[in-house]
Amino acid sequence: MSTNAPVVAAAALGAGYGSRAALDNVSFELQPSELVAIVGPNGAGKSTLLKVLAGLLDPWSGSATVLGRPPGAQPLRVAYLPQAEAVDWSFPVSVRDVVLMGRYRRAGWLRSLGRTDRAAADRALELVGMGALANRQVGELSGGQQRRTFLARAFAQEPDLYLLDEPVTGVDPATEDELMALLNAERERGKSVLASTHDLAGVAEHFTRLLSLNVALIADGPASLVRDPEVLRATYGGHLINVEAGSVVLLDDAHHQRATR
């Protein structure tokens, strides 16, 4: 792959489930060293887009390349983090076992892990502040600890591209800042990050670029677009009730007021 080629190139992507369209005519490119947020209401297609790019869901129409090849063709170079709800937390494995799965993806399932792999897993655990809980069962973790653990798995894999579905959901603001700083450090190392998020106020603070999605791509531009009232109205429709400098107030799907910082 040429060093000038985009990390992700999506052209007129369409995808969905059954007869329901979740993505319609979505086109964009992701370049090396970008930290890009995907925002939109529930059901906007954020998770669907990440699944298509990870090779977990075939598109209905259009095309995509990931690191110069079809989605899913280079799993060792792509770390995918699903939503917490998609994980079976009752599975009897330890935190360290989960993180080591990232090394199996890198090394291959048929090869035994060695000292280098275990050291990489331990470094990743320390990086996200989970070293002291390495032997705890994942089912015993809090929501924030679960997200830290799966981010550690992604870091241990040492990928070129991170596809992250709500990576900081369930963590407190200080932890969010810490984890986003780690992802920004990966960006500075030349890695690319595409992450969905519901924390609109955090987008301008932590990301370099914004993809605003509601089945179709509403906006693609600098992260500061998250404060643009027209972009937000087009993305969230009647849910948007107030936009102020540095903050956004929304109505969630249950019609309760939710304020971002």
Residue 17 belongs to some domain of the structure: yes
Domain of 90: which CATH number?
3.40.50.300
Residue 232 belongs to some domain of the structure: yes
> Which residues lie closer than 8 Å to 103 by C-beta, 6 or more apart?
113, 117, 118, 120, 121, 156, 157
Q: Which amino acid is at 224?
A: S
> Which sign, positive or negative, has the C-alpha torsion 117, 122, 123, 128?
positive
11 touches 63 (CB < 8 A): yes
- The pLDDT of residue 257: 36
Give CA separation, 62 vs 2, 71, 145, in Å.
Answer: 22, 13, 37
Give CA separation, 72 vs 2, 60, 103, 117, in Å.
Answer: 19, 16, 17, 23
Number of domains in the chain: 1
Residue 200 belongs to some domain of the structure: yes
66 touches 53 (CB < 8 A): yes
Give CA separation, 49 vs 21, 69, 143, in Å.
Answer: 12, 16, 24
Residue 102 belongs to some domain of the structure: yes
- Tell whether pTM > 0.75: yes
Angle formed at CA 216 by CA 214 and CA 217, multiple of 5 degrees: 90
Give CA separation, 208 vs 29, 32, 34, 193, 258, in Å.
Answer: 14, 12, 7, 10, 24
Residue 2 belongs to some domain of the structure: no
CA distance 5 to 66: 10
Residue 1 belongs to some domain of the structure: no
CA distance 121 to 119: 5
Residue 123 belongs to some domain of the structure: yes
pLDDT in tens, the chain (261 residues): 445 789 999 999 999 999 999 999 999 999 999 999 999 999 999 999 999 999 999 999 999 999 999 999 998 899 999 887 666 667 778 999 999 988 876 555 446 678 888 999 999 999 999 999 999 998 888 888 888 998 999 999 999 999 999 998 878 888 889 999 999 999 999 999 999 998 888 898 999 999 999 999 999 999 999 888 889 889 988 655 454 545 555 544 443 334 444
Residue 19 belongs to some domain of the structure: yes
Residues spanned by the domain of 238? 8-259
